[in-house]
Structure 1
Amino acid sequence: MLLKHFNDKDIFYKFLKERIGIFFKEAEQRAFEGIFHCIYFKDFSVPPQIIFEAGRKSCVSVFFNDGNYAICGSESKLKDFCSELTKFSETKNLAREILESFIRYRKKHFQLSYNRKILPLGLKTAIMGVL
């Protein structure tokens, strides 16, 4: 038995393709299912019933206490959750904000200002610069 934790969809894609033997197109589609995220936000304007209904339909865990929400699930399920949120006019902006935070979280390019110049850094360069 093997227990693994994946931090990146590319690593999970490689695992599905090489170790499991899944066809590359299906592995690419399912790569988002192996990454688990928890989203935390405060929003007093959104009724909890909408969040719980969207969470039930998309199979994510929803926790609520006094306007504080914690939503947990795989990345693909959280994207399904956002598509459920867009069906309600009150939560369209919240869905867009969640999807934008996923994009920022996966960002692999950074910039560093040095001597009034901007140095573009990739992920490997940024890590080696820290070491």
Structure 2
Amino acid sequence: MQDAIYAPHWNRNAHSVICVLRGRAQVQVVDDFGQTVFDDELQQEQILTVPQNFAVVKRASNEGFEWVDFKTNDRAQISPLAGRTSALRAIPADVLANAFQLRQEDVSELKVNMERQGNTLLRPSRSSSQWRAIA
């Protein structure tokens, strides 16, 4: 899907090998200290290994992005950083507002959307400044 974002997540017990099938995406990987270790574009026929416990987010280009993730554990545990089961949901609204410089209204809307949505794929709404979760 064009311009879609696969929300930030991390693998608790497996490494992940991302193999790009088609399209391009901006991919960012951060270590468990929050330091960026990869922030670049991946395109068709490229491969990226994401170590266990490192967070990754993918944003498709306007031409879309198709990939396959191979995990090093048959029972890989994926933990989202957004959505119904995310760590962000448990953080108090005031802390989120201060940490990310958000208005209280935006944080409230974010938390309500996280409660309703369990999705990890986000796409821009008609106005490109807003994002919404999709199935």
TM-score using structure 1 length:
0.27
Report which of the two has the higher share of strand. 2
Greater helix share, 1 or 2? 1
Bigger Rg, structure 1 or 2? 1
Q: TM-score, normalised by structure 2?
A: 0.27
Higher RCO (C-alpha under 8 Å, 6+ residues apart):
2
